[in-house]
Amino acid sequence: MVKPKTGALDVDSIRKLLNKKAGREIAHSLKEDNPTEVKEWIPTGSRWLDSIICKGNLAGIPVGKVVEIAGLEATGKSFMAAQIAGNAQKMGIDVVYFDSESAIDPGFLERAGCDLDRLMYVQAESVEFVLETIEELLGTDNKWLFIWDSLALTPSISDVEGDFNPQSSMAVKPRILSKGMSKLTVPIANKQATFLVLNQLKTNITRSPSEAMTTPWVTPGGKAMHYAYSLRIWLTGRKAKAAFVLDDNGFRVGSEVKAKLEKSRFGTAGRHCNFKILWGNTDAVGVQDEESWFDAIQISDNLKQSGAWYTLVFEDGTEKKFQRKRWTEELKDEKFRERVLQIIDEDVIMKFSNREGSASDFYELEESKVPPVKE
């Protein structure tokens, strides 16, 4: 403990003493420099999702934080992570991809925008190995994005060396993760690294019918991970059953996904958005961003519907009529596109921040308002 000089010292002097004793910046003036503030965001690939993550801002995956993307089978977790990795590289961030599922296709990563020369692929042999590798890499001067795909399928060392009896290693992984996150959370923030954990949604098996209704899903990893996450994005099928995107011949090429902010330290927990993620053998892979903008502006008074026709109202009062099937074509017009993005900023971001309109516009999505479209 620092022993201050005789007599009362001001807070600024004590802060300097603490930093000198520690040999680094550990004590801060929140008025001058807030070390917990997110200064950069990595785009997710979905403008709508980026618009609902942080209250009052166009955001994304927060740099310097631990984030979870969890989802059901075939909801595009890995495909979204690949787009995030590509976007991070464009920001000068190096990517480490820990893979325990052995399901990564280099060709897909390239189509998603990743530079394989700047992406380090690591086989996640154990939970301990992943955490120790991250700790070691944080000692370098690189700016990192760590992607762990996935926590659920990564064993602990005792799992690898033991038998197949689940009782023999019960709660080992959560205890390891609890210790690991207590060691890594602050260094990740200080190094402005980002830790993106992919996880699986599993059915909540409980004796309480009310809990099963209110909390139908849980994720592996234990409570310590829940506290470590600054943001939790849960991906499920947009409808009650998994909704697939079909090509003209009826083959499955993607999923219709509903994204919910299960936890957010940025004032937006509980918000939802929809988008399609294409993962089939097609040139277009990942989040279909522009198509989802139509759903995003459904809450706006500047989009009107009359039968099969929609009308977009511009700031000067002029109008543009179009049909839903022509949406992506209309976005090629610069004036039309800029107006749509302006409406997203005003109605999706700022109205929520200012608590304008009805809360149900932001927390509940009415499927009936969005007509189905065949690919």
Q: What is the CATH number of domain 33-287?
A: 3.40.50.300
Summarize pLDDT for 14-47 with one digit per residue, the tens. 888 998 888 888 888 888 888 888 999 999 999 9
Summarize pLDDT for 77-134 with one digit per residue, the tens. 998 999 999 999 999 999 999 999 887 889 888 988 899 999 999 999 999 999 999 9
- Topology alike, domains 33-287 and 289-375: no
Q: Is 203 exposed, middle or buried (0-12, 13-18, 19+ CB in 10 A)?
A: exposed
Tell me the sheet residues that pair with 71: 200, 235
Cis peptide preceding 13, ω within 30 of 0: no
Element (H, E) at 249: none
Residue with tokens 């530079």, as numbered in its chain: 115
Element (H, E) at 210: helix 209-214
Q: What is the pTM of this model?
A: 0.89
289-375: which CATH topology? Rec A Protein; domain 2 (3.30.250)
Domain layout of the chain by residue ranges? 33-287, 289-375
CA angle 140, 67, 175 (to 5 degrees): 85
Range of lowest pLDDT (22-36, 144-158, 262-276, 288-302): 22-36
What mean pLDDT value characterizes the chain? Answer: 88
CB-CB contact of 112 with 160 (8 Å): no
**Residue 2: per-residue pLDDT:** 56
The confidence band for 6, taking pLDDT boundaries of 50, 70 and 90, is low
Q: What is the CA radius of gyration of the chain?
A: 23
Of residues 150 and 216, the one with the higher pLDDT is 150
Give the C-alpha separation, 54 to 84, whole Å.
Answer: 17
Residue 55 has pLDDT above 70, yes or no: yes
User: Shortest CA distance to 366 belongs to which of 290, 300, 276, 272?
Assistant: 272
**Residue 297: per-residue pLDDT:** 96
Residue 276 has pLDDT above 50, yes or no: yes
